[in-house]
Amino acid sequence: MPQGIHGVVLLDKPEGISSQTAVTIVKRCFGADKAGHTGTLDPMATGLLPVCLGEATKYSQDLLDADKTYLATIKFGEKTTTGDAEGDVIETRQPSFNVTDIVTLQNKLGEVLKKFTGEIEQIPPMYSALKRDGKPLYEYARAGETLERTARQVTIYSLKWVSVDWPVAVLEVSCSKGTYVRTLAEDIGEYLGVGAHLIGLRRQQVGHLTLARGVTLDKVKETANDASEKELFLLPVDALVQELNSLELSNEEADRLRLGQRVPVSKLGSEEELMRIYRGSVESCNFMGTADWRKGVLHPRRLISQAVEVTNLTN
């Protein structure tokens, strides 16, 4: 039976399954009544997929907008129908520069870092989940249709070549939400005049969350019947909002906020901001949720259920 399981599992998603399938498996193994994730990974992609259980699902949306870091494995000299290894090769090209000359190759790849770092425009790929008239673009693509798409502006915070063994190279990409790494790989290939596609993608970071505490799906399955083992993988709900500044409330202030009332609170600083709120001391068991602090007044934004808060406080 589903139980009151609340928290976050930093799943290291394997290749070959959808994000939703991975979430469903984790939900079942933990016996949670609700589950969600903070941003889809394609079936071919691996790496960090934060799975939110129970009350943590209330905060999954916040990380959909978070910056992300990937390791992208790119193969130069070939273009595919999908921009990745799942598509058919539609064009092959040889480089116009000498790839066996280390200095020449380094210079060319150095140009790429300068060209694609910062704010850039991308045209979303046809093989994407973006919708047109209620239907995902990939459905049009599978039917042989190509629709006009509007370019979008995204931000590439940093690029770093991790390894190069031409025609394959691994690129570390730190980027804003909405960045299509497949499209980035294709655009880099066009810039170099050789074409390219993605043959591997591994997400290393989502916002402040990293793979350092990641757990494999196999490990989750192995410990499905061991409550103590599962607890080692389950981070508290407030792990999702650690990038926010915290605020402690007295019991009286916390009760008023719980009732949906605005609460005058003094704190350092004058900027309006979203805060993570605790009843008493800043400990995960005292976490209440998030609230907006504006002009000396706290406005409730997203609070965990009172039943869960009471349970946490009495444990």
The catalytic site residues sit at 42
Q: Are 56 and 247 in contact (CB under 8 A)?
A: no
For residue 34, give the H/E element and its range.
none
For residue 199, give the H/E element and its range.
strand 196-206
Structure tokens at 4: 């009151």
Whole-angstrom distance, CA of residue 164 vs CA of residue 299: 51
DSSP state of 213: G
Q: Any idea what the Cα angle at residue 118 is, between residues 43 and 92, rounded to 5°? A: 50
Whole-angstrom distance, CA of residue 48 vs CA of residue 31: 21
DSSP state of 39: S
State whether residue 186 is helix, strand or coil.
helix
Q: Are 138 and 127 in contact (CB under 8 A)?
A: yes
State whether residue 242 is helix, strand or coil.
coil
Structure tokens at 151: 């370019």
Identify each DSSP E strand in 139-195 by its residue range.
152-165, 168-175
Q: What is the greatest pairwise CA distance in the chain?
A: 72
Whole-angstrom distance, CA of residue 72 vs CA of residue 296: 45
State whether residue 208 is helix, strand or coil.
coil
- Nearest CA to 191 among 82, 78, 111, 71? 111
